Structure 1
Amino acid sequence: MAIERFGSAEGEDVLQITLTGPDGGEMRVLTWGAVIRDLVVPTPMGPQSVLLGLNTIEDYIAHSPYFGAIVGRYANRIGKARFTLGDRTYRLNANEGINQLHGGVMGFGTRLWSIIEQRPSSVTLSLVSEDGDMGYPGRLVATCTYSLLASSTVRIELTATTDRPTPVNLTTHGYFNLDGSADILSHDLMIAGDYITPTHPDLIPTGEIRRVADTPYDFTTSRPIGAAEFMPEPALYDTNFVLRGPYGVLRQAATLASLRNGLKMELWTTEPGLQFYDGHLIRMPVPGLNGAQYRPHAGLCLEPQRFPDSPNKAHFPSSILEPGQVSNQVSELRFSS
């Protein structure tokens, strides 16, 4: 493990922690946003960087679309930036029109986290969100543990506790590109979900749970992401998939594969949903890692999550955390060639 200063934000140092895995993989983590700035995995053709990242903290603050961050207190969207819990309606910070995205203008992905434990191949970061932060009730204490395990596996564990009932939905927001190509449209993707939660044009769920069969959202068998361009109903993706299997049990949610270099990534998670965003809005005005120019579809997100707007949808799996409970979300990225 190595720790170095990456810059400053909010008048405090931003640190970069470099972890080394037992198989030779490397991960660089920032204390700003608990961001994974870079993830390098070993392959038969040599080390391969698999995430989009930026070069300075100033670039992250000014331009990052949550590259590699942990987002919360509620990842994804809450309609009209409000919800009712018990007999009280809470009004949240709106940062996407009238809605809230990723916890508000000062969500967890733009805050300074603290290092509370470190080892050569793992680090645990913590963040305290006070009662009323971005409109949410309760003092929330969140932790994020990144671990590099054997067999080229990255384990991400997110926990939270509260002193008042509150919605909690933390997730990872890495943008993946397994081969360094200009876009990910030729990557193959499988998602273990037979349903989606369709949305209104503002990306707030309608409340319906709809089958993916015979639609562009059918990734139940592996296929190229860009194949949607040639379907009867072309699609751009920023969609929550309803994952198979029991909520709370670690199970396979998706497989991403590059035909160019043979690298494959399996995503396993305990969460009920998976947001697939194909990066179609990426237009980065500054260079990325190794001087890359990030354009539309330069990377894709696979975000394990509770369903968007679930505090306003009683039939969605509950995201309410009660005092005395621990919210525990586990995801693993398993790489192979």
Structure 2
Amino acid sequence: MTPQPPAPTQAAPDPTAMPAPTSTPEPMELPDVTVEISSQGPLGPHLVDSDGMTLYLFNQDDRDAPACAGPCADKWPPLISTSALMAGEGVNADRLAIIRRADGSRQVTYNGKPLYYFADDQDPGDTMGQDSVDKWFVFSPDGGPVRTSAVLNANENGALGTILTDENGNSLYLFTRDERGDSSCTGGCALAWPPLLTIDHPVAGDGLTEDRIGTISRGDGVKQVTYNGRPVYYFADDEKPGDAMGQDRGRAWFVVTTDGGPVYTNAPVNAAETGELGTILTDASGRTLYLFDRDEPKIATCSGGCALAWPPLITVDFPAPGEGVSGARIGTTAREDGSLQVTFDGNPLYYFANDEKPGDATGQGRG
């Protein structure tokens, strides 16, 4: 027999060789996420997706920090985006953003608040999640919750005293450029300072007077809560209950006393000339200040219902005399609740709640 040559052996692969090209699937193109505004139903304008499904906020979330995960997220699925964000008409594109959830997914936020669906909403326009367990609310285009019956509470703030908050302890503010019963904060202003909105009449918490709580109609037809005639707002950069980062912003925004006036950090006292009354004292925005001739020197006797009609001028630190006002004549006196009321020549100073705008002096000679 003739011997056969050995079978050829397969050469070992070259470790430096490039692998042969293989076909790979094209990445799936996901649709852009669009946030729009719907005005259907009794809740007024609120955020929805491009299919008209309602979007909600969770008032237990801190800013840019979703607290709803696990079984909560099964009931309240987060709005997730893997592509571009689109703003519908009336939605501020600059306020749309993405945050990373613990599982790495990308959740959409508006004005710093994470957005969610409600699993029980079946059809566009459904709002079954509204006011669920007093924690879930539809989202106003102004960047805050739309509450069914907004609640006002009085809460102690270590630095600022007793101030107005919502039921979760989030600080509320007034804008000194607003006139009584009218909000001048709209558009971009309202995104930075979302108004406290309500559908039904708001509710007074402990320590507050029901008849001082009301509403005004904003330009878009929704109702904003007022206290003692002053529209009240959130500050978008407050991250959690108890924050008061909006205090004294622009010398126009202040937390609110339970008497309905601003809490100044350094209350200004200015001298202003009026045609009829001569030179009078005002605050920085030109609002008239009053004294009560039944007060004794450095003793304020106007409290309770009187202080709601005549809110005291409150300061945290020493007041700031303006041009034409001697610092030697300015001081403070401690009220029963521990707050500091500004005095002039020992006389405690007050506003009059029914003065609608700077320059009004409708409290002159009352009583």
TM-score bracket, normalised by the shorter chain, equals under 0.3
> Which gives a bigger RCO, structure 1 or 2 (Cα 8 Å, sep 6+)?
1
Query: TM-score, normalized by length of structure 2?
Result: 0.25
